[in-house]
Amino acid sequence: MTIVPVMSLARHTFIDALRERAFVVLGLFLVVILVAARLLSPLALGEGRRVTLDVGLASVGFFGFLLVALLGTRMVHKEIDCKTILVLLSKPIRRSEFVLGKFLGLVTVVAVSLIAMLLMLAGILLTSGYEFDATLAVAGYYAFLELLIMAALAMFLTAFTSPVLSTFFLMGLFVAGHLSGSLIEMAQLLPNACAAKMLEAIFYVLPRLDLYSYTLEVVHGLPVDGGQLLWATSYAVIYSVGVLLLSVLILRSREFS
Amino acid sequence: MRAECDQLLILDKISKTFTTGFRRRKVPVLRDVSLTLGRGEVFGLLGPNGAGKTTLMKIALGLVRPSSGRGLLLGGPLGDLQARERVGFQPEQPYLYPGLTAGETLDLMAGLSRLSRARTAARIDRVAEQCSLGKYLRTPVRKLSRGWLQRLTLACALLSDPELLLLDEPLGGLDPEARLAVKDLILSLRAEGKTVMVSSHILPDVEALADRVALLRDGVIIASGRISELLGSGSEGVEVEIECQRPIQLPEFCTLARERVASNRARWLVPGDDPARLQHVLASLLRQGASIHAITPQRRDLEAFFTQAMERARTEAEGSAWNSVEVAS
Amino acid sequence: MKASGTLVLALGACLSIVLAAVVRAEFAASKSRVRDETEMTLFPSGRFLREMSLGHRHLVADLGWLAAIQYYGKHRMTDRRYEMAPHLFSVITEADTAFENAYLFGALVLAEAHLLDDGARMLKEGVARNPESWFLNFELGFYHYIFMRRWEAAAAAFAAAAELPGAPEYARRFAAAAYEKTGDEETARKLWEIIATQSDNQEIRRMAEERLESLADS
Ligand SMILES: Nc1ncnc2c1ncn2[C@@H]1O[C@H](COP(=O)(O)OP(=O)(O)OP(=O)(O)O)[C@@H](O)[C@H]1O
Ligand SMILES: [Mg+2]
């Protein structure tokens, strides 16, 4: 693994993605949603701050996900379908470097758009006179960690399915990831111990995205827990590394013709 | 381990069968292809559409794995990482990132080839000049025309100053002027000591460029060697175009070209390159009152050679198919 | 070289997934410490949910029901304390005022938590909102009878249930039995007589006559 080709690929992936039209449309969409939250909040019977934060953070997370789903699956697949990968892999670059470069490029796109979205949200809160504190930044960081996992999964899926299928699968994983917390708890209540164990095993492999929701903490301005921050980061990083290793494994066994 | 040998690419009995679709249908694409590429030569890989030229190049680069057979690329296994540092590949279609400019694309390629920053700048200047891309460096790839894209992919292949170039139809989609420029470029690369493999189905182009050629048909090499050896003495005879008012008698060895230029014009082929014989025919023509419009020596070219070779291969294939049917019944 | 690389990758992938599961447990624990209790108090009020659900209030109630079942399951297996239960069940029943099982289950959970009065209040609320429901009346009687041992209240509720459309026969029997407990033999006898003359079931008629005889003896 060498750093130069990886960074070069990441940088140019980022530049290429920024010029994608899909990206601009997503940005517009977010503005519409946030403005809607701003307009709705007076109707929320004194719960305006809460509604703005709920809707705002939810749409930040969801648009981040859409970004990963659309850009991520399209990106890698475009490589294989449109055969840019032929040019890349004829250069002295390993498949692992290819995966990492693409992933980092995608993650940079995600990070930049998350920052932009959070700034917009903060602007809306400020102009509405609702208070917020550093927990909002932590919420943004958690959203980023969640999308890190999703980006790794996007790389993984596109390594072997079509973009439409992988977008579908990714949506499935997104939903399952958000439900997995509740489903694990339910599984423990199942009368059939064997079925319960099996369900649990499945959900141990699925990511637990529900843990990355931070709306509650922001709404109530709960203190930031440093230990939890560390666990959250390690989980996202380790899980993504595992998924990326699998993607490399798949990509190495593939032919490109 | 890595012997500095003069064989930059060695393919030994390479076969490839693709498996496609849900039915796992087997598609044989290459069969027992062997060839070697010596340092400093231009090698022409010829063959009709679907013959397997592109697949062969991809196998050399490790993008496709051979089903059987072995090979060495610059002394390493096919598609070896270190070997790829010294190879430039121009794919058949200009696959690039539409969002990047030509300059950024080259910058990306430099990064992938692990060039240092200073060298990147120098190399980009150099290949931009070689491919006359200078004024397009700031143009987004999606706005480049097909021909310029083609030149950009060539520039990408040349960027790391590789020893071995695999160019898949480098002249496709280019206007006559650009074709000439690219041909000149390939010849100047040979002069610099680079080794080039060019695939094409446009034979005159290859004839002008290549030292050696191989002809692929349905994944099998049906002829290969130096052009001069393949074509022999090179002369088919002399063609004489005449105008005459009445039928003409000529010695038996002369043949009348089938198509007529005009109602009272005809072309005769005088085979062989015996000057005395030609003189005799010309005298006879003048005697019979024909006026001579043109005398053209007929060089035997690759096109003629390969048409014959393909024809031969086809009849052989049909013959063997016939045989096998007989054996089966 | 290639094969060993594949092995390393595969091992690395497996290792990371396992490690991730371990780290995840820590993360989940730290998260649930913050969340669990806060989350339930944050469960918005039933009326708010009802207004916000835009016509899908049954859906809201169903979701609340699932949350309640989980909450119960979790605490049943751990500390057997159900502090948030009154709030949770009031949310569900406010979102869907006719959700009979929610009133009953809520009351039972509260009884388990020794919050007997709260449980009775919950059922009474159900009866007040659904006066036509024999089921809620009956369960209110049952609750009084079994958990609180208040025979009068139980007997009244059973009797009310027995008069409502759709009420099964045994409601009247429960009422009669409860009246015997209170010492109001007069009412008990009247009820047994109705059963003895009207029941479709011979066995039950016989049993009712036995009860009448034993009441006459005393
Ligand atoms: N992935 C694949 N699966 C199945 N068949 C394939 C695959 N790739 C190539 N082929 C088949 O292999 C044959 C050779 O293809 P190839 O692209 O190498 O031909 P070519 O000589 O480059 O042709 P052209 O002159 O049109 O570029 C074709 O018949 C093609 O259909
Ligand atoms: Mg081709």
User: Containing H/E element for A43?
Assistant: none
Q: b vs e for A154-177, b when ≥16 Cβ sit within 10 Å of the residue's Cβ?
A: bbbbbbeeebeebbebbeebbebb
Per the model's pLDDT, the better-predicted residue between A68 and A37 turns out to be A68
Nearest CA in chain B to A256: B63
User: Among the ranges A43-47, A55-59, C119-123, which has the highest mean pLDDT value?
Assistant: C119-123
Whether A1 and A9 have beta carbons less than 8 Å apart is answered as: no
Whether residue B58 lies within 8 A of chain A, CB to CB, comes out as yes
Sheet holding B195-200, edge to edge: B87-90, B164-168, B195-200, B42-46, B212-217, B220-226
Q: Which helix (H) or strand (E) holds B198?
A: strand B195-200
| B50 near A CB under 8 A | no
pLDDT per residue as tens, chain B (329 positions):
444 567 889 999 999 999 887 788 888 999 999 999 989 899 999 888 888 999 999 999 998 999 999 999 988 888 888 889 899 999 988 888 888 999 999 999 999 999 888 899 999 999 998 888 888 999 998 888 888 999 999 999 999 999 999 999 998 888 888 888 899 999 999 999 899 999 988 887 888 888 898 988 888 888 888 877 777 665 677 888 888 877 777 777 777 766 565 667 777 878 777 778 888 888 888 888 888 888 877 766 777 777 777 777 777 776 654 444 333 33
Q: How far apart are the first and last CA of chain C?
A: 99
Q: Looking at the predicted structure, is the pLDDT value of residue C39 above 60?
A: no
pLDDT number for residue B323: 43
pTM greater than 0.80: no
Q: Which residues of B touch A20 (CB under 8 A)?
A: 99
What's the pLDDT tens digit per position in A158-178?
A: 888 777 788 888 888 888 888
Q: What is the pLDDT of residue B322?
A: 46
pLDDT digits (tens, 9 = 90+) for B173-221: 888 888 888 999 999 999 998 999 999 888 878 888 888 989 888 888 8
Give pLDDT, residue A35: 77
Find the helix or strand (DSSP H, E) in which C44 lies: none
Across the interface, whether the CB atoms of A84 and B96 are under 8 A apart is answered: yes
Residue pair A127/A206 in contact (Cβ under 8 Å)? The answer is: no
Say how far apart CA B267 and CA B248 lie, in whole Å.
12
In which element (H, E) is residue A171 found? helix A163-189
Q: How far is CA B313 from the centre of its chain?
A: 19
Coil, strand or helix: which one is B34? strand
Q: How far is CA B196 from CA A10, A186, B45, B322, in A?
A: 31, 65, 10, 40
pLDDT score for B326: 39
- Per-residue pLDDT for A186 more than 80? no
Task: Enumerate chain A positions whose Cβ falls within 8 A of a Cβ in C.
Answer: 45, 47, 181-182, 185-186, 188-189, 204-205, 208, 211, 216-217, 219-220, 222, 225, 227-228, 231-232, 234-235, 238-239, 241-243, 245-246, 248-249, 252
How far is Cα B63 from Cα A89, in angstroms, rounded to an integer? 7
pLDDT surpassing 70 at residue C8: yes
pLDDT for the residue numbered B325: 39
Region class of A81: left (phi > 0), else alpha (psi between -120 and 50), else beta: alpha
Chain A partners (3+ C-beta pairs within 8 A)? B, C
Q: What is the complex's ipTM, to 2 decimals?
A: 0.83
What does the pLDDT average to over C36-60? 59
DSSP strand pairing (B42-46 vs B212-217): parallel
In this structure, of A149-153, B71-75, C99-103, C206-210, the range with the lowest mean pLDDT score is C206-210
pLDDT band for position A187 (50/70/90)?
confident
Q: What would the pLDDT profile of C183-194 be if each residue is shown by its tens digit?
A: 777 778 877 888
Residues 6+ apart with CB under 8 A from B279: none
Going by C-alpha positions, the residue among A62, A51, A56, A50 that lies closest to residue A221 is A50
Residue A9: pLDDT band with limits 50, 70, 90: very high
Nearest to C74 among A185, A216, A248 (CB): A185
**Cβ atoms A34, A56 nearer than 8 A:** yes
Res. A246: pLDDT tops 70 = yes
pLDDT band at C44 (very low <50, low <70, confident <90, very high): low
A85-124 pLDDT tens trace: 888 888 999 989 999 999 999 999 989 988 988 888 888 8
pLDDT 10s digits, C124-159: 999 998 888 888 998 898 888 878 888 888 888 888
Distance B100 CA to ligand 2 centre (A): 26
pLDDT in tens, C14-37: 899 889 888 888 888 888 776 665
Residue with tokens 């060895």, as numbered in its chain: B253
Q: What is the pLDDT of residue C34?
A: 67
DSSP-based three-state secondary structure for C48: helix
Complete DSSP assignment for C130-199? -TT-HHHHHHHHHHIIIII--HHHHHHHHHHHHHSTT--HHHHHHHHHHHHHHT-HHHHHHHHHHHHHH-
DSSP state of A223: P
CA distances from B172 to A114, B202, C65, C122, C192 (A): 44, 9, 68, 83, 104
Rounded Cα gap, residues A55 and C196, in angstroms: 64
Residues of A with a Cβ under 8 Å from any B Cβ are 2, 4-5, 7-9, 11-12, 15-20, 82-84, 86-94, 255-257
- The whole-angstrom separation of Cα B238 and Cα B299 is 9
**Which parts of A129-162 fold into alpha helices (H)?**
135-158
Q: Which residue is closest to C23 within chain A, CA to CA?
A: A235
Q: What is the pLDDT of residue B327?
A: 38
Helix then strand count (H, E) for chain A reads: 11, 0
Place of tokens 């990968």: A85
DSSP H/E element including B305? helix B302-328
Q: What is the pLDDT of residue B109?
A: 93
Q: Which residue has the higher pLDDT, A86 or C62?
A: A86
